[in-house]
Amino acid sequence: MSTVRAAISQAMRLLRASSPGMSPAPRNWRPGWRARKPWIHEARGPLITLDISANWVPGENQRLRIQAGADVTVTLLNTVAMHGGYDPYDYGFNPSARESAANPALGSLNPADYVAWRPPTDGARIEIVGTAQGLYFYREDTNAWVSALSLAIDSELPFNQRLQGAFAALLAERLADVLGASGAVTPAQKARLVHAREQMFTRTGNRHAPTRAQYF
């Protein structure tokens, strides 16, 4: 279980603010709770922004602006359109349609057949702004969308379980300022932080869309 409580406990142990096998003191939960807010969301690049005024199933990595007065139901997707899939004859010159705001990727509740539809990528995001607010991350290891704005202390983190250690290390960096001398970051922990940032921000184990230069 990669919960908020487990991440805060691990961060406290990294800072030697709690003993191994012991839960942090209750007074330490509040700064840990505040520091865990999803600052990593902004570091993962821009989202495609869409204005909607009717019920919608978004694609991945989209920001939905719900217009004032609109009564909208947003259903989180199960699969993403592949837009025809890989073309072996384009030699990489055609940009992916899902990178274009004019032709955003469609989401659906269909099963993944890997011909027209594929699962979302791990860490994909859906943000809702306007008359309603929401931020959801897709966890491939649990096949679930997890809200990053309404986490309780025993809620699952919105990140894959393999990233819990990296998230706890970054959380410890934030808590070090709050805890003062008792939460000093050691040189070994600084090296760990570098690796944690690489894991969280680049997610090297994930499938990434190709990056192509545009000259015209």
> What pLDDT, on a 0 to 100 scale, did the predictor assign at position 106?
83
CA atoms of 151 and 157, how far apart (whole Å): 8
Answer whether 186's CB lies under 8 Å from 17's CB.
no
pLDDT tens for the 216 residues of the chain, in order: 688 888 888 888 887 776 666 666 556 566 656 655 556 676 677 888 899 888 999 988 899 999 888 888 999 999 998 864 444 455 555 555 445 555 677 899 999 988 889 999 888 999 999 888 899 999 998 999 999 887 777 888 888 888 888 888 888 887 777 766 555 677 777 788 888 888 887 776 676 666 666 665
* Residue pointed to by tokens 């990053």: 148
At residue 215, the 3 state secondary structure works out as: coil
What is the pTM assigned to this prediction? 0.77
Degrees to nearest 5, angle at CA 160 with 5 and 106: 130
Question: Per-residue pLDDT tens for 170-186?
Answer: 888 877 777 665 556 77
Every domain of the chain and the residues it spans:
4-36+151-202, 45-147
Give the model confidence (pLDDT) of 110-130 as tens digits. 999 888 899 998 889 999 998
Q: Strand ranges (DSSP E) for 67-133?
A: 79-81, 107-108, 117-118, 125-130
Q: Distance (Å, rounded) from C-alpha 59 to C-alpha 77?
A: 7
DSSP run (H or E) holding 147: strand 144-147
